[in-house]
């Protein structure tokens, strides 16, 4: 059984973040997780002169935090749907603070949109989300259309797709996807892309090799998922079949790099941007 004891939802005051909180609350209820909402304030430099400056800066800082906390307490009430959530306010670089909190509190999952308000809106999959995806040591659940996300009563997870490249993270990604499918009694489908010409003479041999390797992973994990082999370029060879099978969630693996979390492969960013459903990078 997949264990998700702690969920972190970085939030700004946007419709995308409302959707992310709905999904985080849905998962917290399903897994009995502790849910934490975090809002990161960007540092502000105040220009003062004279002896009174430190006191005025302290007052302004406290007032800004109080205003933010009041808004944080009221903005996501409907999205939480009665789920309890700890609310944390930090100051600094958003991505750095999010990753640091996730690591320090040993979070099992981060749920966040690919864009939001303020520092989040400067990119679609840029410095905040991309850095969290790159640096976080726990799985990250994200999606482009988070503002459209609804609760479990309206849209339960019925089909989980897991895209595997048969690299080192394949078993971890497939195991996570299998656990999520089990938690929702959902169907599990494995997707594998072969980026060779479909008319190539090696097509059959490559397909058989991929199926053999996938079967080995399935035997080790005790899964019996349906397997789709797609020929074509990434990300289409993953996102198109995910759309065809009406996947509610797509799970992908991280690469291995020099950092503790490894490096998210370049094509993973385009998969996240173009996926028809939320994506979890494991």
CA distance 212 to 220: 13
- 6-148 and 159-281 agree in CATH topology: yes
Mean pLDDT score, 5-31: 92
Question: What is this structure's pTM?
Answer: 0.87
Mean pLDDT score, 151-174: 87
CA distance 73 to 71: 5
In this prediction, residue 201 carries a pLDDT of: 82
In this prediction, residue 156 carries a pLDDT of: 80
Range name among 79-93, 122-136, 192-206 with the lowest pLDDT average: 122-136
Per CATH, the architecture of 159-281 is what?
Answer: 3-Layer(aba) Sandwich (3.40)
Burial of 104: CB neighbours in 10 Å, binned 0-12, 13-18, 19+:
exposed
Provide CATH code, domain 6-148: 3.40.50.620
Q: Where are the domains of the chain?
A: 6-148, 159-281
> For the segment 51-89, what is each residue's pLDDT rounded down to a tens digit?
555 556 667 778 888 999 999 888 898 899 888 999 999
In this prediction, residue 121 carries a pLDDT of: 41
Widest pairwise Cα distance in the chain: 80
């Amino acid at each position: 059984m997949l264990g998700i004891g702690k969920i972190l939802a970085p939030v700004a005051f946007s419709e995308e973040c409302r959707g992310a909180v709905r999904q985080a609350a849905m998962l917290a209820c399903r897994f009995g997780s502790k849910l934490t909402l975090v809002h990161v304030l960007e540092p502000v430099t105040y220009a003062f002169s004279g002896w009174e400056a430190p006191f005025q800066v302290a007052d302004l800082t406290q007032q800004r935090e109080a205003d933010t906390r009041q808004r944080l307490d009221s903005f996501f009430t409907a999205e939480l749907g009665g789920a309890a959530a700890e609310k944390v306010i930090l100051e600094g670089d958003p991505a750095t603070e999010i990753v640091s909190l996730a690591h320090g509190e040993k979070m099992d999952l981060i749920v966040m949109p690919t864009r939001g308000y303020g520092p989040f809106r400067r990119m679609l999959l840029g410095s905040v989300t991309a850095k969290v995806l790159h640096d976080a040591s726990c799985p990250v659940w994200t999606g482009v259309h988070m503002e459209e996300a609804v609760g479990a009563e309206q849209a339960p997870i019925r089909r989980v797709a897991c895209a595997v490249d048969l690299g080192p993270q394949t078993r971890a990604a497939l195991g996570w996807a299998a656990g999520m499918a089990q938690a929702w009694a959902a169907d599990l489908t494995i997707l594998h892309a072969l980026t060779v010409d479909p008319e190539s003479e090696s097509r059959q041999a490559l397909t058989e090799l991929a199926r053999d390797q996938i079967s080995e992973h399935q035997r080790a994990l005790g899964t019996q998922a349906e397997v789709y082999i797609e020929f074509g370029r990434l990300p289409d060879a993953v996102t198109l079949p995910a759309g065809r099978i009406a996947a509610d969630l797509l799970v992908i693996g991280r690469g291995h790099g020099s950092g503790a979390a490894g490096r998210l492969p370049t094509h993973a960013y385009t998969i996240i941007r173009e996926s028809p459903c939320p994506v979890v990078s494991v």
